[in-house]
Each structure stands twice: as structure tokens, then as C-alpha cells.
Copies of this chain bind each other. A is one copy, B any other.
Amino acid sequence: MFTLRPNVVNAMERLSPNIDAMRDDLKADLLEVGRLLVSMAEAVRTAMRNATDALLAADREACEGVIARDQEINEMHRQVDERVYETLARQAPVATDLRLVITGIQIAADLERMGDLAEHVAKTALRRYPALAVPPELREVITSMAAVADRIAGKVGLVLTTQNETLAAELESDDDAMDELQRQLFRILLGKDWPYGAEAAIDGALLGRWYERFADHAVNAGNQVVYLVTGESA
């Protein structure tokens, strides 16, 4: 179920400044939690990407695929939590190590929520099927929001594997770009020449909301990783 890139396998070793002093068995458990988180980050990124494609093409099967696969993401979430509690029980880590292990639970919660938001996009598309939920006037801004969401989700995966603080700092400015797109979306929806009435306006506003929240949770997850590495809130 989890396909791993080779570089991921050792990447989590850098997750804590104290990892060199860490006992090998704790290190192995942390590596496993890290692997699961990277897989989850990849899965939610793919989910949102597929949801956007399905939305823009009004592709029913693709929508249903996104919705069905959210169960797999939820299952991954359960596995992270289980693995964290096993680690806590087996290794009884303290201080920084303990905080590190627990943060895995919080990152997983953000990632799971990102999966839910991809599912929301697919469900919005499905509700309007066979019509397109995104009218031509919104296509560009929604496509841009999806691109920013995808870029942020990709960076979270990278931050998880590299613990690169510079990359993590970029998440904030990516999030600003999302907020600007959100404003642009509302300018179109609320413009005097909006021709589609209330239903399409509501769908447009909610779609914007799903992408924006997806990005918010990704930034949260990225900040948690930075906190892990530096001990300071981003």
C-alpha cells in the first residue's frame, strides 16, 4: 500500500537534533512513523490533484475514485496513531524525543484533514455532474488555487524528508499567494456581471474554501516539522 522513494528510508534520521544520541530501537520506530507520514503526504497530494482534474473535467469515475481512496488515507492516519502509541509504550521516550513522537500525531491529523478536503472537491464536482461545477469565468483562478495547493503539499513532503527550514519558510509565502487568489475568486463571484446565480456562486466560494483550508493544514503540518527540528514555533 505504501510506495516509498529510496531517499525517504534514511531521511527521518535527521528529524531530531538528538537523533544521533537516540537509542537504535527508538530511531527505528521514528523512522517508521516518518515513512508513514511521507506516504500520507504523497497520498493527500495525489488525492487533491486527482480531485482537481476530476472537477475540471466533470469526470464522475475520477470523482468516485477520490472519494473511495479517502478511506485509505484514513487508514494511514490510524496506522500513524497506532505506531506512535506503540512507540510510546515500547520506548517510553522522554523530553525532546517524546515531543518528537507526539508531533507525529498532530502532523497526521493535518494530513488526514487535507484528504477530507480533496474529497470535498470531488463531492462538489459530483453534485453538479454531468454539468461542470466550475464555469469558464472561474476556471483560471481555481486552476491557480489548485496549483498553489499542489505546490504546498509537495513542499510538505519535502520538508518531512529533508527538514529544510528554508523550504518550510516558503510555505508561508505560498499561503499568502493562496489568500490573494481567494480574494480574486471573491471579486469574480461578487462582480456585477456574475451571470450564474446563487448556486454556482456558492459552489465557487466553497471550492475556494477547500483549497484554502488544504493549504492551511499543509502549512500547519510543515510548521510542526520545523518545530520538531528547531524546537521553535515557526
Contact = CB atoms under 8 A, between A and B. Distances in A.
Most chain B beta carbons < 10 A, residue from A88, A95, A105, A198:
A198
A105 B206 CA distance: 29
A71 interface: no
A102 B81 CA distance: 11
Interface in A65-122: 85, 88-89, 92, 94-95, 98-99, 102, 105-106, 109
Contact of A189 (B85, B88, B190, B198): B198
Interface SS of A by simple majority? helix
Interface string A169-195: 000000000000000001001100010
A194 B205 contact: no
Contact of A199 (B92, B105, B190, B206): B190
A51 interface: no
A197 B105 CA distance: 43
Contact of A198 (B89, B99, B201): B201
Contacts of A89: 94-95, 98
A151 interface: no
A202 B199 CA distance: 9
Nearest to A200: B198
Interface of A: 85, 88-89, 92, 94-95, 98-99, 102, 105-106, 109, 186, 189-190, 194, 197-199, 201-202, 205-206, 209
22 contacts: A85-B99, A88-B94, A88-B102, A89-B94, A89-B95, A89-B98, A92-B92, A102-B105, A109-B109, A189-B198, A189-B199, A189-B202, A190-B202, A194-B198, A198-B198, A198-B201, A201-B201, A201-B202, A202-B202, A202-B205, A205-B205, A205-B206
